[in-house]
Amino acid sequence: MLKRWLPVITALALACSSTSAQEARVEIGLLICGLGESAEAESGRDAVSREPNKMLCVFRPSNSGPEEVYVAGFQTIGRGEDLSQHRTIIWVVKASPVTQRSTGLLQQLYSADRSAPPPHPPPLIGEKNSEIVLQALDDPQALNGANKQSDAAVTIVLVALKLLSSLA
């Protein structure tokens, strides 16, 4: 009889452990990215943008560690116009409490968590180190209605971060 229940118990244990692993993530800093003129893309496109857009990002660790500057390529999905020029995007960077912090920690490819429920932007999960997650904050300009309609249907689904410099 135990053999019959073993797969069910194993599945429940794995579900609980993955949930507790997600809950165990702590905020390790903020990633602040600015979209410039090079990030502006054609308007009125559908589906996934073909060319990665560029943005410049600064990682500000919450432990008062040295700031790091990254260049990022990103891809969006959705209908309507692409993200607005001169917009700032802020991600809360979360990781396991035991994650070893080092220079260039965020340098990797991040992709959207497909299991995230809409309408909020999905968290971006590191592909090399899945303990690192980028969770978007709501954009204050969008909340004030500046470009709310054009940006609402556009979601960032892929971000590739490359370290440019660090004060460490």
- pLDDT score of 80: 54
Stronger pLDDT, 141 or 128, i.e. the higher one: 128
Residue 137, pLDDT > 70, answer yes
SS3 64: coil
- pTM for the structure as a whole: 0.71
pLDDT of residue 15 exceeding 70: no
pLDDT surpasses 60 at 49:
no
CB 156 within 8 Å of CB 124: yes
Please report, to the nearest 10 degrees, the dihedral formed by the alpha carbons of residues 97, 102, 103, 105 taken in order: -50
